[in-house]
């Protein structure tokens, strides 16, 4: 146990060292193929642009952006640093997919098995396709699946976390620090609603992420022959499927209930991010914000 903890302390130090060596303004040539420079995405609204008729919501921080243009339509404390819970698994998914090899096996470590719920209760030494772990992470928010994926990348677990932070900055999310792949509460880890929207903007463009995040459930085959039907933690895909088509929800004690919700409806594509809310209010507030968007900002999404 002490060995595992000391190893994790070492990768935290490596993450900070790696981030310190990163330019906060990488040149466009460093941005990997498939990801556009995102300086225009989720830009702060001018004081006169914020509408006064937006509904009151419980979330401490929120933002709405057009999922096509990236334009900001609404914001509330969008740059406040706070935990974002499992919504940061969207960044993990982006990094996993970019690394490739989704049909290769990944082996569960002791550290992975130790991760707290929500989890699949994977056992040390078991092997699973990265693709199946990715689906489980996005649908059921399995923390052990996220941990296995981080530890089975091109380098070490710490390398993966450092790469997550580099990727976030490349995408334009420069007001965040990620220290694990699943979003569980961790001292010093933070992001913002705006950064989360930027990450979600790119995650939404990946067809595999969009597909998995839209599923109500997905089967997961364990190494011992058992099959679990994993339920999506995003209740919007159950209760408002005509309006919402993904992406990710989460909850931690520090972060509260968090949500990234996407919608494609009547010519509009929308991303809603809410942080620091409650399980009782967040999905209703997402519905209220989306209806407000349709009523007051009805123009179809289009690139200008």
Is the per-residue pLDDT at 157 higher than 80? yes
Quickly state the pLDDT bin for 207 (edges 50, 70, 90): very high
Give the whole-angstrom CA distance, residue 147 versus residue 269: 31
Residue 287 pLDDT greater than 90, yes or no:
yes
* Cα separation values, 129 from 41, 96, 138, 203, Å: 34, 12, 15, 21
pLDDT at 219 over 80: yes
% pLDDT > 70, the chain = 83
Per-residue pLDDT at 9 exceeds 70: no
Q: What is the mean pLDDT of residues 129-151?
A: 98
pLDDT digits (tens, 9 = 90+) for 274-284: 999 999 999 99
Other Cβ atoms closer than 10 A to 52: 4
Could you tell me which residue, 304 or 40, shows the higher pLDDT? 40
Does the structure show a pLDDT above 50 at 155? yes
- With a cut of 60, say whether residue 24 has pLDDT above it: no
pLDDT surpassing 80 at residue 233? yes
> DSSP state, 54?
P
Number of alpha carbons in the 13 Å side-chain half-sphere of residue 257: 17
pTM over 0.85: yes
Mean pLDDT of the chain: 88
pLDDT band at 153 (very low <50, low <70, confident <90, very high): confident
Q: What is the distance between the alpha carbons of residues 74 and 272, in angstroms, rounded to a whole number?
A: 9
User: CA–CA separation, 271 vs 269, rounded Å?
Assistant: 7
* Selected residue with higher pLDDT from 268 and 296: 268
Say if residue 61's pLDDT is above 50.
Answer: yes
Q: Is the pLDDT of residue 123 over 60?
A: yes
The set of residues, in sequence order, having a beta carbon less than 8 Å from that of 194 and lying 6+ positions away, is: 42, 44, 63, 75, 78, 79, 173, 175
Average pLDDT of the segment spanning 77-86: 98
Domain 37-296 superfamily per CATH: DD-peptidase/beta-lactamase superfamily (3.40.710.10)
């Amino acid at each position: 146990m002490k060995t595992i903890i000391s190893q994790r302390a070492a990768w935290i130090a490596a993450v900070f060292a790696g981030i310190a060596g990163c330019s906060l303004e990488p040149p466009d040539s460093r941005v990997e193929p498939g990801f556009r420079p995102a300086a225009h995405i989720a830009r702060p609204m001018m004081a006169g642009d914020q509408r006064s008729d937006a509904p009151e919501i419980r979330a401490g921080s929120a933002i709405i952006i057009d999922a096509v243009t990236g334009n900001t339509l609404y914001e509330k404390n969008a740059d406040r640093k706070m935990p974002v819970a499992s919504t940061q698994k969207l960044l993990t998914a982006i990094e996993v997919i970019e690394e490739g090899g989704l049909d290769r096996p990944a082996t569960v470590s002791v550290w992975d098995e130790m991760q707290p719920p929500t989890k699949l209760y994977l056992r040390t030494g078991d092997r699973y396709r990265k693709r199946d772990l990715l689906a489980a992470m996005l649908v059921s928010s399995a923390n052990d699946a996220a941990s296995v994926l981080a530890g089975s990348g091109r380098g070490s677990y710490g390398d993966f976390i450092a790469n997550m932070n580099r990727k976030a900055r490349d995408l334009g999310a420069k007001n965040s620090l990620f220290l694990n792949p699943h979003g569980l509460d961790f001292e010093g880890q933070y992001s913002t609603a705006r950064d989360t929207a930027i990450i979600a903007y790119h995650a939404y463009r990946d067809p595999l992420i969009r597909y998995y995040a839209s599923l109500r459930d997905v089967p997961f085959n364990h190494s011992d022959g058992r099959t679990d039907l994993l339920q999506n933690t995003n209740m919007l895909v159950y209760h408002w499927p005509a309006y919402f088509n993904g992406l990710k929800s989460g909850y931690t004690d520090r972060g509260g209930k968090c949500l990234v919700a996407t919608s494609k409806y009547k010519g509009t594509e929308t991303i809603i991010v809410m942080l620091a809310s409650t399980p009782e209010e967040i999905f209703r507030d997402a519905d209220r914000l989306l209806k407000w968007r349709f009523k007051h900002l009805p123009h179809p999404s289009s690139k200008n």
